Amino acid sequence: MKFVALTIFPELLQAFWDNGIMRRATADGIISPEAVNIRDFAEGRHKVTDDRPYGGGCGMVMKPEPLAAAMKVAKASAPEAPTILLSPQGERFSQTAAEKLAGHKELILICGRYEGIDERFTERFVDLEISVGDFVLTGGELPAMVVMDAVTRLLPGALGNEDSAGQDSFENHRLDCGHYTRPPVYEGEAVPEVLLTGHHEAIARWRRTDALMRTLVRRPDLLRQKPLDKEDTALLKEWRREIERLLRSQPDGGPGPSSGGG
């Protein structure tokens, strides 16, 4: 996967590419990252990339010409790439979006600064606008890193054998289960017993239950996105039986269905 990022802060992206999984994926030829410095394409002695907004108001707007010249270089380097602008006006980024982008062989990411970029550049050169969330950042570099990170870990060979991408949170519309490592007792809190038994089937069942219950409590919206499979339905019915048993054992028999148990 070739990543070409247009930015006025190439060092920000380089620091990201120079570390961890991104560094290894680059060394292994799985990704090929490249920054194009928009300032290199700005005119004049001061290499100005921004200007005041027409219509007045505060803040500055990125000029279209340096961006267009930088884009020409980016397109020469990645001719088949969709061009992606990181912006709060974009479509919300998700695991599904990451999976789609991972199917391309090249991506061009445009990182704006200031109040944003001239709309005429966007109309002419941008295929897709992506937002990483409903909050305002000072630039598109962090969102571009978010996108590249989520995409890279989906590429074959990018993760070590120990953490395969398929098992993680969201890939199955679930939050992840809890994770534990040594020591077995930390500040008086023990690791869930089953994880120490070496009983792989029981461990898998515990993890699946933990993931399901965490999702039910914290993000019930995720469970509604996709029908439950047989195993999860069975787990939830087991929990329902257990909850009903607990309620029935209360001194007053517990609130009945008609007395507003919600």
Binding site for ligand 4HQ (CB under 6 A): 86-88, 112-113, 116, 131-133, 135-137, 139-140, 143
> Can you tell me the distance from the alpha carbon of 201 to that of 192, in angstroms, rounded to the nearest whole number?
15
For the beta carbon of residue 41, count every other beta carbon within 10 angstroms.
20
Token pair of 134 as six digits: 């409903």
Question: Would you say 88 or 254 has its CB closer to ligand 4HQ?
Answer: 88
Respond yes or no: is residue 88 known to be catalytic.
Answer: yes
Chain centre to alpha carbon of residue 116: 22
Question: Would you say 26 or 131 has its CB closer to ligand 4HQ?
Answer: 131
Q: Kindly name the residue from 28, 115, 119, 193 that is annotated as catalytic.
A: 115
Token pair of 16 as six digits: 């990201």
Minimum distance of ligand 4HQ from residue 247's CB (angstroms): 44
Minimum distance of ligand 4HQ from residue 127's CB (angstroms): 15
> Can you tell me the distance from the alpha carbon of 221 to that of 226, in angstroms, rounded to the nearest whole number?
10
Q: Which residue has the tokens 């004049």?
A: 44
> Can you tell me the distance from the alpha carbon of 63 to that of 83, in angstroms, rounded to the nearest whole number?
18
* Amino acid making up residue 195: L
Task: Name the burial class of residue 77, with classes exposed (0-12), middle (13-18) and buried (19+) by CB atoms within 10 angstroms of its CB.
Answer: middle
* Angle ∠(219,174,136) on CA atoms, nearest 5: 55
Question: Would you say 97 or 137 has its CB closer to ligand 4HQ?
Answer: 137
Question: Would you say 87 or 215 has its CB closer to ligand 4HQ?
Answer: 87
Respond yes or no: is residue 168 known to be catalytic.
Answer: yes
Minimum distance of ligand 4HQ from residue 13's CB (angstroms): 14
Minimum distance of ligand 4HQ from residue 227's CB (angstroms): 31
Minimum distance of ligand 4HQ from residue 34's CB (angstroms): 20
Question: Would you say 147 or 212 has its CB closer to ligand 4HQ?
Answer: 147
Q: Kindly name the residue from 113, 153, 174, 207 that is annotated as catalytic.
A: 153
Token pair of 160 as six digits: 């070590």
Q: Kindly name the residue from 34, 106, 149, 168 that is annotated as catalytic.
A: 168
> Can you tell me the distance from the alpha carbon of 100 to that of 107, in angstroms, rounded to the nearest whole number?
12
Comparing C-alpha atoms, which of 227, 226, 220 is closest to residue 175?
A: 220
Catalytic residues: 88, 115, 153, 168
